[in-house]
Homo-oligomer: A and B are copies of this chain.
Amino acid sequence: MLATATRLSYRAGALRINAARLMDTLHHTCQWGATAQHGPALTDTGMCRLALSDEDKVVRDWFGAELQATGCEVSVDQMGNMFGIRSGNHIGAPTVAGSHLDTQPTGDALRTLRDAGHRTEYPVGAVNWTNEEGARFPRSLHGSSVWAGDLSLKDALALEDVKSPGLTAGHDLERIGYRGSLPADVARNPLAAHFELHIEQGPILEDAGAQIGVVLGGQAYRWFDVHISGRESHAGSTPLDVRADPLLCAARLMELANTVARDLSGVATTGILSLRPGSINTIPGTVDLTLDIRHISDEKLDEMEARILDEAEGITKRLGTNGCSIEWKKTFQKAPVMFHDDCVGAITEAAERHLGEGGAQTIYSGAGHDSCSTARHCPTGMIFIPCKDGISHNPVEYSTPEDCAMGAQVLLDAMLLYDSKRVA
C-alpha cells in the first residue's frame, strides 16, 4: 500500500475498448439461449438463458476460458459465483467488474488490459454472480446475497426451480459442475471495490440524450400483498349506493398510491391483481393485489406508506366501496443503497473524459442489482447505458453498439482510475 509520489496515475481513455470485438463477442455468446426471433437479422432475437441450465453451463465454460486467456486465475465459490482475477503490482483484494450472464463487456475490459500489457497496482478482475435475475430459482441477487451474508448458503442451495418443485439450485450447480469450494463469504473472499455496467431498464437517459448514467444509489422499496373484501352481489340487481365493490376499491387504491407517489416523487406500482369469483355479471367478493412502492429516501418512503395506508381507510367509506375492508401484509422491504463516493467519482471522471463536462447524468437505480449486495461490504459503483424506449426483460431490449462500447470504456477507465488511486 506504499504510494510513490512519482508514480503516474491512470488517465481515463489511455486504454481503449475494441468496440467491434465487443459487439462480435456479445452476439457470439447470444447463440447460447437465443429465442423469440423478432426481426430479419440473425441477432434480432431475445435471450433466455436460465440460471444453471445447460446454456448457462456453456456460457460459463466460455467465460472461464476467456478469463484464463486474459491472464486471470479463475475460481468458483460454493454458490457458483465465478471470480477471474488478474494480479497487479501489489497483493490485496481485487477491484472487480461484477456482472451476471451477460459477462461480455467485462471480458473485453480484461482483454484490453492484456493486449496493452497494462499492469495494475492491485489485482483486478471480473465476477459472474450466480442467478441475479431470480427467474428460475425465485430469489433475485441469489449468488451475491450469499456472498454478502444476506442469505444463508443452506437456504440458497435448497431453493427450488419454480417450474420443477424438488429440483434445487444446489442440485443443478452440482450437475453443471459449478458448485465450487471457495467460501461464498465476503469475509473469506473480500473485494476491494465492485463496479457494474448495466442497461438502465428505464427511459431517463434516452429522454435526456445522455450516453452514460452515473448511478448514485438504489431506491428503497417495499412490497405489500393487499387483500380487499367486499360483498359479492349481482351486477344488475345491486344499486350503486349499496355496493361494497372490492374491485372499485382496488381501482381507487391504485389511483391513491399513484397520487401519493407523484406528490412525494416516488413510484408506486401494482403488477399482480386477481379477483373472485370472476363472472361478468357478478360484483367480485374479494380482490388480491400487490403494491410496490419505491423512493430514494427511506424517510420519504415511510411517509408514502403512512399516507397510502391512512387514506385507504377513507376509500372504504365512499359510495360504492363503503363497507369494503382492506388487509395489508408487508412481504418485503429493502433499505436504500448509496454507492461509494470514490467509485462514483471514478465513473464521473471517466465519463467526463469521453463526453465532456456534464456529459454524464446522475441517476438512481430503480431495480435491484448485485451491486446492492456488495455496496454494504466494499466501495461500489454502477454505470448505466441507455436502452431503447426504456424496455428491458423483453426480446426487443436494445442498446446501440456505440453505447455498449462507451459503457465498457467507462467501466474499464473507472476500474483503472480506482486502482491507481489505491496507491496515490
B240 touches A258 (CB 8 A): yes
User: Closest approach, in angstroms, between the C-beta of A262 and any C-beta of chain B?
Assistant: 6
A93 CB within 8 Å of chain B: no
Question: Which of A237, A240, A290 has the most chain B CB atoms closer than 10 A to its own CB?
Answer: A237
| In contact, B283 and A271 (Cβ under 8 angstroms) | yes
Complex-state Cα separation, A270 to B235, whole angstroms: 8
Question: A233 at the A/B interface (Cβ < 8 Å)?
Answer: yes
Q: Indicate the member of A254, A267, A271, A274 with the most B CB atoms within 10 Å.
A: A271
Residues of A221-264 whose CB lies within 8 A of B: 221, 223, 231-240, 242, 245, 247-248, 250-252, 254-255, 258, 261-262
Whose C-beta in chain B lies nearest to the C-beta of A284?
B271
CA distance A269 to B232 in the complex (A): 12
Of the candidates B236, B251, B390, the one whose C-beta lies within 8 Å of that of A366 is B236
Q: Which of A184-215 contact B (CB under 8 A)?
A: 200-204, 207
Cβ of A365 within 8 Å of any chain B Cβ, yes or no, is yes
Of B258, B365, B366, which one neighbours A248 at CB under 8 angstroms? B258
- Asked if A278 CB lies within 8 Å of chain B CBs, one says yes
Question: Across the two chains, which residue of chain B brings its CB closest to A389?
Answer: B231
Instruction: Establish whether residues A280 and B292, one from each chain, have CB atoms under 8 Å apart when the complex forms.
Output: yes
Residues of B contacting A368 in the complex (Cβ-Cβ under 8 angstroms): 236
Tell me the bound Cα distance from A394 to B231 in angstroms.
11
Interface size class of A (residues with CB under 8 A): 35 or more
Write the chain B residue with the least CB distance to A279. B271
A237 touches B201 (CB 8 A): yes
Q: How far is the CA of A322 from the CA of B203 in the complex (A)?
A: 15
> Oligomeric state, in number of copies?
2
A269-B281 contact, Cβ under 8 Å, with A236-B219, A367-B234, A393-B234: yes
A395 to B278, CA, bound (A): 17
Chain A 361-403 near chain B by CB (<8 Å), digits 1 or 0: 0000111100000000000000000000111111000000000
Q: A272 interface residue, CB < 8 Å from B?
A: yes
Question: Are B251 and A239 touching (Cβ within 8 A)?
Answer: no
Asked if residues A271 and B280 are in contact (CB atoms below 8 Å), the reply is yes
Residues of B within 8 A of A273 (CB): 247, 273, 275
User: A13 within 8 Å of B by Cβ?
Assistant: no
Q: Is the CB of A270 within 8 A of B247?
A: yes
Q: By the criterion CB–CB under 8 Å, are A366 and B235 in contact? A: yes
Nearest-CB distance from A229 to chain B (Å)? 14
> Residues of B contacting A345 with CB < 8 Å?
none
Closest chain B CB from A154 CB (angstroms): 25
A and B contact pairs by CB, cutoff 8 A, 12 listed:
A201-B236, A203-B233, A231-B389, A231-B391, A235-B292, A236-B368, A248-B254, A248-B255, A248-B258, A250-B251, A251-B251, A251-B252
In the complex, given contacts A235-B271, A236-B367, A280-B292, what are 19 additional A-B residue pairs having Cβ atoms less than 8 angstroms apart? A201-B236, A202-B238, A204-B239, A233-B390, A233-B391, A235-B292, A235-B294, A235-B366, A236-B365, A240-B262, A240-B267, A247-B254, A248-B270, A251-B252, A269-B281, A271-B283, A272-B279, A273-B273, A273-B275
